[in-house]
Amino acid sequence: MRLDLSGKTALVTGSTQGIGEAIAAGLAEAGATVAVNGRSAAKVQATIDRLDGTFLPAPGDLTTAEGTAEVVDALPAVDILVNNLGIFGAQDPLSITDDDWRRYFEVNVLSAVRLTRAYLPGMIAAGWGRVQYIASDSAVVVPAEMIHYGMSKTALLSVSRGFAKATKATGVTVNSVIAGPTHTGGVEDFVYSLVDKDLPWEEAQREFMRLHRPQSLLGRLIEPGEIANMVVYLASPQASATTGGALRVDGGYVDSILP
């Protein structure tokens, strides 16, 4: 199967590192022109400089309506929108403030809704488009230490399914990708916040999975490129009959046949 995205333009939000950067690289490898997004123009350019492919800078703070407008003004139309931007962190469930709840909703959910509203009409008019939301196993198996994060990722599943219905019979597909525990720099910090900081990384990773993610059938953290593989497929013409779905790249973490 050859996934060819030549002639397509993609925007990947939060793509200067981690899963977002891997997705940008994967889409470019398949032939797409990929807009890299982050709040810092310098960081966006540094990411583009270290990747191979055709890229466009799309700096802007998507957590605000003003920042979103800046990105859309610079990039009025896209064929593929990957809503990857997100934040996470552990907090005591009884001390999460109202402001923290709002922040997680604003960053993880509303930023994606704004961009979907901005780009979906153009996709529908063109008769082709792909919208994706990077969700998480935490949307289904909500961790006690990250209720606020789980809430935001569960909301993305609803957003994705709803917008898929809004694109019925248009040639546009909308899906979410449920990413399991993934190896990124931020996750390394998170792992070491929960296990012995003196352990070498490979031991720390195994200990984290054993103690805090024992449901995983993979038994290791997922690499960002493995998430990107699913995203690239869903962005391709070969995935034309897949829409309204929540597709799992979770290493078997979620103990369910569906979603």
Active site residues per annotation: 149
Cβ–Cβ under 8 Å, residues 194 and 205: no
DSSP 140-155: TS--GGGHHHHHHHHH
The closest alpha carbon to 240, from 3, 23, 78, belongs to 3
Cα–Cα dist 139/151, whole Å: 7
User: 9: alpha, beta or left, given left = phi > 0 and alpha = psi -120 to 50?
Assistant: beta
DSSP 221-248: PBPHHHHHHHHHHHHSGGGTT--S-EEE
Kindly state the tokens that stand for 33.
Answer: 């022109």
Kindly state the tokens that stand for 115.
Answer: 């961009």
Cα–Cα dist 78/208, whole Å: 39
